[in-house]
Amino acid sequence: MTTTPGTEIIELETGVFARLHEGLTNAGIIVGDDSALVIDSLRVPSFARDLIRDVRHITDKPIQYLVDTHSHWDHAWGNEEFPDATIIGHENCYNEMIDVEWNEQWRESVMNSGDAWSEEAGIVKITPPNLTFETSMRLYFGGRELHLRFLGKAHTAGDTHIHLPDDGIVFCGDVAQDGGVPYLGDSYPDEWPDTDDRLVGLPIDRFVSGHGPVGEPAALAEARDFIHELFAMLKAAHADGRSVEDAAASTVAALTSRYGAWRSFDRLEESLPAVYAKLG
Ligand SMILES: [Zn+2]
């Protein structure tokens, strides 16, 4: 099948697909008996339309559900292209998506980035979930259980993990990547390490992240270790009253040998002042 340039669709199990987008944002597709479910609507409406076109290579069933792994623009700003779907997200994801000031800051930053989608970001009609949950929700879909779980705040306040227990698969948004540093600017440093412990505790043999390749449990554990080490070092530096520049530089230096080859590691240091400011 010929999908959108730069994308690749992998069938993980019968009816369960990861749609990976090189250097950009991944999505998931699950085919049920009478309808389909999509995980993440991607960055702007044209990206959502490309995704929907790619779904049509797999199934002609209507897209009944869209699940937002979290509120970030590159995952959820295509929501408006799914007017007939039930859009599911965590309650905190909903609250972030109706936070006008927060989203306008993101819009301005995307519009100023000079990327191919910058201009289109100006016309996005930010569309929050219309069905939310607080702790967990189960969907019995196409003969399988989809367990939507909130495991605590982490990358954002409302990260949803879509766990398929019978298949040993979890779609985990931006909480963990195989060999990549997640964006930290909206993170919850006090809670993310515990959330990662719960994520690693799920019985899975593959995870689909919002960015990068499909990973195996060893990579998920390594992503957890990274978050634990990162925040422990920053907190220790903060407790010692060290300057933000000193804390950032020494943390990056200490993490380089194990994680230096990861995607976006080169941007880690510049992202740390925002994290440091959140430490109490
Ligand atoms: Zn994100």
Q: What is the pLDDT of residues 252-275, one digit of tens each?
A: 999 999 999 999 999 999 999 999
C-alpha span between 96 and 145 (Å, rounded)? 27
Over residues 199-217, the pLDDT tens digits come to: 999 999 999 999 999 999 9
Rounded CA gap, 75 and 248, in Å? 28
Q: Averaged over 38-63, what is the pLDDT?
A: 97
* Spatial separation of the C-alpha atoms in residues 23 and 187, rounded to whole Å: 21
| pLDDT tier at 2, thresholds 50, 70, 90 | confident
What is the token pair recorded at 156? Answer: 């954002």
Average pLDDT over residues 110-116: 96
Q: What is the pLDDT of residue 280?
A: 72
User: For residues 193 and 229, what is the distance between their CA atoms, to the nearest angstrom?
Assistant: 9
DSSP state of 180: B
Rounded to an integer, the average pLDDT of 166-184 is 97
Of the candidates 277, 210, 200, 259, the one whose C-alpha atom is nearest the C-alpha of residue 27 is: 210
> How confident is the model over 214-238, as a mean pLDDT?
97
Whether pLDDT at 143 is above 80: yes
Q: DSSP state, 175?
A: S
Average confidence (pLDDT) over 99-121: 96
What spacing in Å lies between the alpha carbon of 154 and ligand 1's midpoint?
10
Element (H, E) at 47: helix 45-58
Instruction: Say yes or no to pLDDT of 90 above 90.
Output: yes
Q: What is the largest CA-CA distance in the chain?
A: 59
The predicted pLDDT at position 226 comes to 98
Residue 72 alpha carbon to ligand 1 centre in Å: 5
Q: Which amino acid is at 64?
A: Q
Phi, psi (deg, nearest 5) at residue 87? -100, 115
Helix count and strand count (H, E) for the chain: 9, 12
Contact criterion met (CB below 8 Å) for 184 and 154: no
Give distance in angstroms: CA of 83 to centre of ligand 1: 23
What value does the mean pLDDT take over residues 236-242? 95
The predicted structure's pLDDT at residue 142: 94
Distance 244 CA to ligand 1 centre (A): 24
Residue 225 has pLDDT above 80, yes or no: yes
Q: How far is the CA of 257 from the centre of ligand 1 (A)?
A: 25
Give the H or E element holding residue 50. Answer: helix 45-58
Q: Which amino acid is at 28?
A: G
Mean pLDDT (whole number) for 236-261: 96
CA of 116 to the centre of ligand 1 (A): 19
pLDDT of residue 1: 74
Structure pTM? 0.96
Cβ neighbors of 119 (< 8 A, separation 6 or more) are: 111
Domain 7-276, architecture per CATH: 4-Layer Sandwich (3.60)
What spacing in Å lies between the alpha carbon of 210 and ligand 1's midpoint?
7
Using CA atoms, how far apart are residues 107 and 70, in angstroms rounded to an integer? Answer: 16
- For residue 33, how far is its CA from the centre of ligand 1 (angstroms)? 31
- Dist. CA 34–CA 63, nearest whole Å: 9
What whole-number distance in Å separates Cα of residue 225 and Cα of residue 219?
A: 10
- Looking at every residue in the chain, the average pLDDT score rounds to 97
pLDDT of residue 25: 98
Q: If we measure between CA atoms, which residue out of 42, 248, 224 comes closest to residue 151?
A: 224
Percent of the chain whose pLDDT exceeds 70: 100
Closest C-alpha to 74, from 124, 31, 29 = 124
Q: If you measure from the C-alpha of residue 187 to the centroid of ligand 1, how many angstroms do you get, rounded to a whole number? A: 9
